[in-house]
Amino acid sequence: DGEKLGSALKYEVSRGGSLFPHLYAPLAVDAAIWVRPLALGADGSHQFPKLEDE
């Protein structure tokens, strides 16, 4: 929930020109609106799921 993060959440322009959120504070547990496990691949890297709009 971005409103709970207050001024610590800043949107900055990425290399591609899109706005990207950066959090400049610890993430408070009560600000999370959902949590999902993030699987590790065979090489130990995180396997990110596709986003709904992809």
Query: CA torsion sign, 18 to 22 to 27 to 28?
Result: negative
Count of domains forming the chain: 1
Q: Pick the range with the lowest mean pLDDT from 4-8, 42-46, 49-53.
A: 49-53
How far lies 43's CA from each of 37, 39, 40, 48, in Å?
Answer: 17, 11, 8, 14
- Full domain range(s) for residue 35: 1-54
CATH of the domain at 13: 3.20.170.20
- The pTM assigned to this predicted structure is 0.58
E strand or H helix at 22: strand 19-23
For residue 37 the two structure tokens come to 């496990």
| Confidence band of 2 (pLDDT split at 50, 70, 90) | confident
Asked if pLDDT for residue 25 goes beyond 70, the answer is: yes
| Confidence band of 1 (pLDDT split at 50, 70, 90) | confident
